[in-house]
Amino acid sequence: MENKQYLSSLKVLVNTPKQWGAFNELLESNILLYQRKLEQAVDMVEIHQAQGAIQALRKLKQLREQVNAEKK
């Protein structure tokens, strides 16, 4: 599977607490930004864009579990 190559390259990021913590803070900050945009959206396009961005950022927050699941 092609993803194994990429996932193994990310092990340093997800298993280094300082780096992973900083990455998570960045993700949380961006999620909050898009939640504010979602609250202020006036049309369906803006709503869908903000929802998609939040969904993608939340998926990135699960990266550690995905990378470490490949160890097994």
pLDDT in tens, the chain (72 residues): 457 788 888 999 999 999 999 999 999 999 999 999 999 999 999 999 999 999 999 999 999 999 988 665
Does this model's pTM top 0.75? My answer is yes
The dihedrals phi and psi of 43, each to the nearest 5 degrees, come to -135, 165
Provide the sign of the torsion angle of the four alpha carbons 52, 58, 63, 65, taken in this order. negative
**pLDDT score for 21:** 97
Looking at the structure of the chain, the number of domains it has is 1
**pLDDT score for 1:** 45
Full domain range(s) for residue 43: 2-69
CB 68 within 8 A of CB 19: no
55 closest CA partner among 40, 35, 25: 35
**pLDDT score for 45:** 97
CB 63 within 8 A of CB 20: no
Residue 50 to residue 60: CA distance in whole angstroms: 15
